[in-house]
Amino acid sequence: MALYNLADLSALLAPQARLIGLDPGARRIGVALSDVARRIASPYGTLARAKLARNAAEIQAIAAREGAGGLIIGLPLEGGQRFGPRAQAARDWAHALSSATGLPVAMVDESFTTAETHEHLIGAGISRARRAELVDKMAAAAILQRALDALAG
């Protein structure tokens, strides 16, 4: 399945279909979920990074359970919005995940989402151990919220 821009992805979705936001990391994948109106992103959980088939099955199960019709995946652009090796790896993973799940995908710049999430949690007085539990799914929610805000205009 192809990658789409946000407007084209939105046009493919059924009414009331949610979006899943993903922040793929080396060890964990943060997962977020939109509401049915596609206005608000909420942290959903984390998945252990594993072989594509396993992660695809887990994401497909979440999509089926929650009524999601598409995926928003973070794109790690380098400074100056340049497309580097990490962005290419994320794009390759997004293509493979889309093919494995049958869900359309759009990618959104994830610059600074993890760092901003850490700062927010530190500012809220969250302990280091608790931050480790929260940061991935909250970063996924930040990525998804960027996409939802762009779709809202």
pLDDT for the residue numbered 81 = 75
Distant-in-sequence, close-in-space partners of 108: CB < 8 Å, separation ≥ 6: 6, 72, 73, 74, 75, 143, 144, 146, 147, 150
Beta-sheet strand order (sheet of 41-48):
3-4, 105-109, 68-75, 18-24, 28-34, 41-48
pLDDT for the residue numbered 135 = 80
What per-residue string of b and e applies to 62-98 under the rule 16 or more CB within 10 Å gives b?
A: bbeeeebbbbbbbbbbeeeeeeeeebeebbebbeebb
pLDDT for the residue numbered 1 = 67
pLDDT for the residue numbered 9 = 95
Distant-in-sequence, close-in-space partners of 146: CB < 8 Å, separation ≥ 6: 108, 109, 113
Give the residue ranges of the chain where pLDDT is below 50. Answer: none
Domain count, the chain: 1
Q: How far is 7 from 5, CA to CA, in rounded Å?
A: 6
pLDDT for the residue numbered 145 = 96
pLDDT in tens, 75-86: 998 877 788 898
What CATH number is associated with residue 44?
A: 3.30.420.140
Q: How far is 91 from 43, CA to CA, in rounded Å?
A: 22
Q: Domain range spanning residue 52? A: 3-152
User: Could you tell me if 52 and 43 are in contact, meaning their C-beta atoms sit under 8 angstroms apart?
Assistant: no
pTM for this prediction: 0.91
How many helices and strands (H and E) does the chain possess? Answer: 5, 6
Q: Give the number of other Cβ atoms within 10 Å of residue 107's Cβ.
A: 24
pLDDT for the residue numbered 50 = 96
